[in-house]
Structure 1
Amino acid sequence: MSVALRKLLPGQTCQVWTASPTGEDPVKRFETSLCRLEAPNWLSSGDALVLNGDGLLWRLSLSEERQLDAIEVTGAPQLNNDHVLDPDGEYIYLSAYDRQIYRAPVRGGAAELITKDPSVQVLHYLHGVHPRGDRLAFIGLQPAGGDGPAQADVFTMSVDGGDYRRLTSGPGNSDGCEYSSDGNWIYFNTELFDGHAQIARMRPDGSGLEQLTSDDCVNWFPHISPDGKWVTYMAFPPGTQGHPSNVWVDMKLVALDDWSTVTTVDRLFGGQGTFNAPSWAPDSSAFAYVSYPIEPTR
């Protein structure tokens, strides 16, 4: 299937960063003008990141050499920026531009199609894997029909492609659904409350919905640290529609048990691709994200 992959603009570079919840300045780990890398996942070994770019999957070593290598995945179309590691660290679940979900060895190899049920008429965008490894949390997008808009809601399903469960049903769209580290909650961003994206959580059966942010920013993609102490998310400017690329955004950090105090860790030029996937280090010492600065023209 032919898609228009996101590319770097003239004069634009891709920078991969990590930041710590303890307050140190963010660290630039890698920079390139050859490929628009997106959505870092941290490998369970702690020594490398997995990102997508140009429809492919890439491994970025965090050693001094900072080597970037393509991961050869066969049997899947071009990949987008919704990918999540299985808890065993050996496999990765992948969303592709055919709007289906696949599972492949994280070191490369043949991909297996997970979403095989033809009766399920939604487009799939993966965001979370339960800590037990038995269920996936994803956004199901129902395309616009007639005069109605497209609708994006939170779903879960078993990792073998069955037992679909729809957990939200508008009004407005939801996205970025991710399990907490203990599996007791699903965190996500949603327009359910006031018509623009706020961070919320609910139980895995859809009960116990709670609003966690209530500001004017358009807040997306909550990611929970493995130790269950921290949440990071990305704040777009007030009035932003969706989660576009090439805009100024703020990287936010908050203690999971105290949403009254939110810290801005970094302000960067990015958006779509910066922070779509779970990106904490396995020891919760840091999280990763991507910026796309553009050099001013003379």
Structure 2
Amino acid sequence: MRIRPASAVTSAFVGLSVTALTALGSLGVASPPVHAAQRVSSPVVIGHRGVPARAPENTLASIDRAAKLGVRWVENDVQRTKDGALIVMHDTTLARTTDVEQRYPDRAPWKVSDFTLAEIQKLDAGSWYAPRFAGERVPTLSSYLRRVDRNRQKLLLEVKAPELYPGIERQILAELDRTGWLDRRHVDGRLVVQSFDAASLRTVHQLRPDVKTGFLGAPKPSELRSYAAFADQINPSYKSVTEAWVRSVHALKGPHGRRLEVSAWTVDDGDDAVSLARKGVDGIISNAPHEVAAALAEDADDDAFLNGLTNPADTDALVDGIL
């Protein structure tokens, strides 16, 4: 992954400004005021399955590491076991991120829905990533929700492959309610439920109209109004995002009467994150959220410094007079 290197913009202008101001002072000319930099707004950065750049995805270790790095929003995926339990897992099979092939070699293709919760909880979900995570387990949704709450984090919850799990929307909402995630404090600012499946998202909205929802995809501008009836966010792959498309999304209001939002995924490059911020996205989903946040903060500081240093006419006159 390539993260945007430290910018030379601020340091270059600081050097120019110090030289210019020193020269003006030696001529007895009063220096123009240098205003304190003010941070420009940046997109919210969301840890994709926690912080996979530092810990195995969709585990408690991953969201704990995200919390230690100051990542306030985390994203995860929910699926259902053979015996009806809800677990946190991205892939619809267990092979990539557990030792299921070694433990149950005769049960290919190792679908989540073919295993009971007790069988899944015997799996090692950390060794594939690094030896220090050996013994990490696949979390239940309940344990995951409680840990996110304990960490004082916020949650972007994906209903994964709902076509495989009829009725899972009602079950997820029941678990959210049981663990306290549907009270006013959580619903008003700490929870978004998203899905690639529009029908599933409509079901969530119908069952709990107060819950904020996000559609995963990039509908054409002409189609956006139909999604605004049940989705508060339109969350596309970052590769499909243009400034004009973001404006089209922002021009509409969602079911709660607020402007539709855009959270783009999955962005691990600082330059890409800065480009998206300049296109106006509201959120960025990343495997390395701490590094993306640092790149955005640096870019915001550069902009704030240049905007606050002096106005463009003053800058031109200052540079022309010195050079």
TM-score, length of structure 2 as denominator length: 0.30
Which structure features the higher share of strand residues?
Answer: 1
Structure that is richer in helix per residue = 2
Q: Higher relative CO (CA 8 A, sep ≥ 6), structure 1 or 2?
A: 2
Q: TM-score, normalised by structure 1?
A: 0.31
Structure whose alpha-carbon radius of gyration is higher? 2
